Structure 1
Amino acid sequence: MVDKILHEFVKECGYPRALDMFEKISSGKKLRSKLILKIAGQNEISLRLCAVIELIHLASLLHDDVIDDSTIRRGKPSINALYGSKNSIMLGDILYSKGYYEIVSLDPQIAKIVSKAVLDLSIGEMMDVDLGSKFSPNLDEYLKMIELKTAVLIQAAATSAAMIAKVDAKAYGIYGKNLGLAFQIVDDILDISADETTLGKPAFSDYKEGKTTLPYIFLYNALNLDDKEILKSLWGKELDENQTKWIKGKFDEFNIVHKCKEFAKELGYKAIASVSDEGLKEIVSSMIDREF
């Protein structure tokens, strides 16, 4: 149903080329929609909210792929790889604009919450670019960036769904924020632990793209001074087999994946503690309690 509404939304824009490009976007798992429907149930308002949130999320990914020069998204060619960066940016703008156009038909307070989340998301994207200009092992900066870039939209989805369901929006917002933080950290772990087929992109691509994610922050803080310099020297570069092997060896030596997973679990526990919904607890468990 959400896919059907999304298709209609983009079709209503009246530009067949935009619809053709939109249909080439590799569809994800729709975590945000699943969360909304789990909280608010399936009805006309909740489905419309799902479609708006998905439009915004997809728009952010289109822009993100251009910023990162990513040619693969979820195992398939990215839109910028297929149509070029200019088209990818403009399609993202169309999806953002359509999302805002549709959101005005929802409760004004929900529109305000989602719009603020998009503002924060854009700031998070800029923070990500700024942090990507240098090796940045600052944990607080990293956590703030992923809160804005990833968690705020998931938090807005949970809060808005709770408002539709007339339950404690603040509690569900806490759930959404911590779920979003854990979600991003799990994604960071998978970049260093999953194979390319599972990941849908080359492994270790985060570090090559200049992203100092949680595993590298934890590793840097565990290394001696000489090894710290080696790790910094590999940042933002194409890694050869020996360099990748060195980093993997250090990850294993200091049990970094386990430490990151425990960090994500703590966030998951905070999410679970804020609500009593068993279905929402299962979302957290299925994301974190897995093989890396």
Structure 2
Amino acid sequence: MGLDETAQKPHDRLSAHLAADMERVNALIRRRMASEHAPRIPEVTAHLVEAGGKRLRPMLTLAAARLCGYEGDHHIRLAATVEFIHTATLLHDDVVDESAQRRGRPTANLLWDNKSSVLVGDYLFSRSFQLMVETGSLRVLDILSNASATIAEGEVLQLSAAQDLRTDEAIYMKVIRGKTAALFSAATEVGGVIAGAPEEQVGALFTYGDALGIAFQIVDDLLDYGGSTTTIGKNVGDDFRERKLTLPVIKAVAKATPEEREFWKRVIEKGDQREGDLEHAMALLASHGAMEETRAEALGWAQTAKAALAVLPDHALRSMLADLADYVVARVN
């Protein structure tokens, strides 16, 4: 079950509860992605921003702020900031990964070109910093600027680690904490900060976002070997074809026989992939229990996310955030 499927799931309830705020966020995004002198910027941005994504990360910012009793306007700017950072990283990622599909549609780099994707991504990063500054909070600027640096660091680490069989689970965690969880945790943390919440609650929001982001990425990596194209918005087996050492493969490699290790070395390190290799890889994952172990880790991180919410105010949004953590991992149940 994908996050984009089926009405009245936790994500939909969150969206309905925050509908008025999200309408303002979307209007702000449309205004700030405009460009008087370079019409390609809104063309490329709109292709991705309007592609039917569920705006999960900006909704986390809105939910965190509202949960902590915020009544001002800055959470709208911060939610737009988070979405711009996310969209910029997607544009850059698709160039790096040479992807042809995102959210079930052709990628911007395929429809336009790599140069446009990179430069428009840079533009959105710049816009995100303008929005951060407008809140007047140095702490917010510190959190989101650090997250932007951490995301880039995670992506660079993945370049060297993704095709190296020496990559272990600790390195994998550094990668996904960087490229995925950093923006989740920043999104929730700044919501608490802008609301002036007590430090214990701000810390809890960070922990929730961090654990949710880790669970989210582990599930995505798992679904690449056991989901459907409709569910994950990309082609099943893309991570294998792109020679990415994700958690299921890392677990299988750790238990591999010498013969199996040679297979992984050929297909991942050397990139010599042949017909039937994906099916053989999936069989190895199954034989070593790598899929089930990976699923158990995702469930554990979802529980960590839910537990962090205990110190936050008793509110309908708190229940929705807890349900969202369950839903993220329900995709692999």
Calculate the TM-score normalised by the size of structure 1.
0.94
Looking at structure 1, the residues matched to 34 and 142 of structure 2 have their Cα atoms a distance apart, in angstroms, of 25
Say which of 181, 192, 195 aligns to 1:165. Answer: 195
CA distance, structure 2, for counterparts of residue 12 and residue 100 of structure 1: 16
1:224 equivalent in structure 2: 257
Partner of 1:28: 53
Equivalent position of 1:212 in the other structure:
245
**Does residue 186 of the first structure (1) align with residue 227 of the second (2)?**
no
Q: SS at 2:82's partner residue?
A: helix
Q: Give the RMSD, CA atoms, in angstroms.
A: 1.8
Q: Which runs of 4+ in 1 moved over 6 A?
A: none
In the other structure, the counterpart of 2:30 is 7
Q: Is this contact kept in 1: 2:223–2:332, CA < 8 A?
A: no
Counterpart-to-counterpart distance in 2, 1:290 and 1:239: 29
Query: CA offsets per residue over residues 131-185 of structure 1, 9 Å max, x none?
Result: 1353344111111111111111111111101112333211111111111111110
**Partner SS, residue 235 of structure 1:** helix
Decide which moves more: 277-286 or 195-204.
195-204
Asked if 2 retains the 8 angstrom alpha-carbon contact of 1:125 and 1:149, the reply is: yes
User: Would the aligned equivalents of 2:35 and 2:41 in 1 still touch at CA under 8 Å?
Assistant: no
Q: Does 1:98 align with 2:127?
A: yes
**Per the alignment, do residues 48 and 278 of structure 1 end up closer, same or farther by CA in structure 2, a change over 3 Å counting?**
same
What corresponds to 2:319 in structure 1?
Answer: 278
Q: Give the TM-score normalised by structure 2.
A: 0.83
Q: 1:105 and 1:142 mapped to 2: Cα distance?
A: 35
- Show the counterpart of 2:313: none
Tell me, which stretches of 5 or more residues in structure 2 are unaligned? Answer: 1-22, 311-317
One-letter amino acid of the counterpart of residue 322, structure 2: K
Compute the displacement of 1:14 (Å). Answer: 4.9
SS at match of 2:134: coil
Task: Give the aligned partner of residue 296 of structure 2.
Answer: 262
Q: Distance in 2 between matches of 1:5 and 1:149?
A: 25
Matches within 5 A, 1:1-292: 1=23, 2-11=25-34, 14-25=37-48, 26-41=51-66, 44-106=73-135, 107-167=137-197, 168-235=201-268, 237=271, 239-276=273-310, 277-291=318-332
Identity %: 30
Preserved CA contact (<8 Å) 1:159 1:170: yes
Choose 267-276 or 213-222, whichever is displaced more: 267-276
Task: Provide the rounded CA distance (Å) in 2 between the counterparts of 1:290 and 1:134.
Answer: 29
1:282 CA drift (Å) = 0.8
Instruction: Please say if residues 208 and 238 of structure 1, whose CA atoms lie closer than 8 Å, have aligned partners that are also in contact.
Output: no
